[in-house]
């Protein structure tokens, strides 16, 4: 059984990116599912020097290392990924073992704007580059007008998004296998 780690890039419970992550999990198919929690302390070199790597950061690094594949659902805040996402990447970069190296990773995003978080997703791609993951290049999943994109059951309304997500997640499964 493959292990799929889902990373929600938004902290709020009602996040549309969490809904998109749930859709991505379904499209991936049978897997042991794990979920990251990005509610971490802010990176602070003094904190690291005094106390080492926080437990929650090590848990995240271990989840990444243990996963066969990772999907990140990332919102767009002011044309970029939210600070919690960058903060998590910075913390994980301070752990041992290069957990991202060669890891199959798919990016998806939901945002209220017309671009569906395209600038955020592109910036996140650049932010991940130093860690040398196996980043899938497409198809791109960019859910625009996200507050209206899901039905009352939290399912994606538009078949075109479903189709692109299915293709991306099947590519992720192939890369993980």
Residues making contact with ligand FMN (CB under 6 A): 10, 12, 15-17, 75-79, 110-113, 117, 146-147
Name beta bridge partners: 32.
3
Cβ proximity to ligand FMN, 75 vs 99, nearer residue: 75
Q: Least distance in Å: CB of 108 to ligand FMN?
A: 11
Task: Kindly calculate the radius of gyration of the chain based on its CA atoms and give it in whole angstroms.
Answer: 15
Nearest CA to 68 among 18, 30, 109, 12?
30
Name beta bridge partners: 143.
110
Q: Least distance in Å: CB of 101 to ligand FMN?
A: 28
Q: Least distance in Å: CB of 21 to ligand FMN?
A: 9
Write the CB contacts of 3 (distance below 8 Å, at least 6 apart in sequence): 31, 32, 33, 34, 66, 67, 68, 69
Cβ proximity to ligand FMN, 79 vs 94, nearer residue: 79
Rounded CA separation 11/76 (Å): 13
Secondary element (H or E) of residue 104: strand 104-110
Rounded CA separation 26/155 (Å): 11
Cβ proximity to ligand FMN, 54 vs 115, nearer residue: 115
Cβ proximity to ligand FMN, 61 vs 72, nearer residue: 72
Residue whose CB is nearest to ligand FMN in the complex, by number: 113
Q: Least distance in Å: CB of 115 to ligand FMN?
A: 6
Q: Least distance in Å: CB of 42 to ligand FMN?
A: 17
Rounded CA separation 121/109 (Å): 7
Cβ proximity to ligand FMN, 25 vs 79, nearer residue: 79
């Amino acid at each position: 059984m493959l292990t799929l780690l889902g990373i929600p890039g938004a902290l709020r419970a009602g996040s549309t990116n969490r809904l998109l992550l749930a859709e991505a999990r379904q499209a991936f198919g049978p897997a042991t599912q794990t979920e990251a929690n990005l509610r971490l302390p802010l990176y602070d070199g003094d904190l690291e020097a005094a106390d080492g790597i926080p437990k929650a950061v090590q848990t995240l690094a271990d989840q990444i290392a243990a996963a066969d594949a990772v999907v990140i659902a990332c919102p767009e805040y002011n044309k970029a990924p939210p600070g919690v996402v960058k903060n998590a990447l910075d913390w994980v970069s301070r752990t041992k073992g290069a957990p991202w190296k060669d890891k199959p990773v798919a990016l998806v995003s939901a945002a209220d704007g017309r671009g569906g978080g395209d600038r955020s997703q592109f910036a996140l791609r650049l932010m991940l580059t130093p860690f040398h993951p196996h980043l899938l290049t497409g198809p791109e999943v960019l859910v625009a007008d996200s507050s209206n994109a899901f039905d009352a059951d939290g399912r994606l309304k538009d078949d075109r998004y479903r189709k692109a997500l299915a293709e991306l997640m099947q590519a992720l499964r192939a890369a993980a296998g």
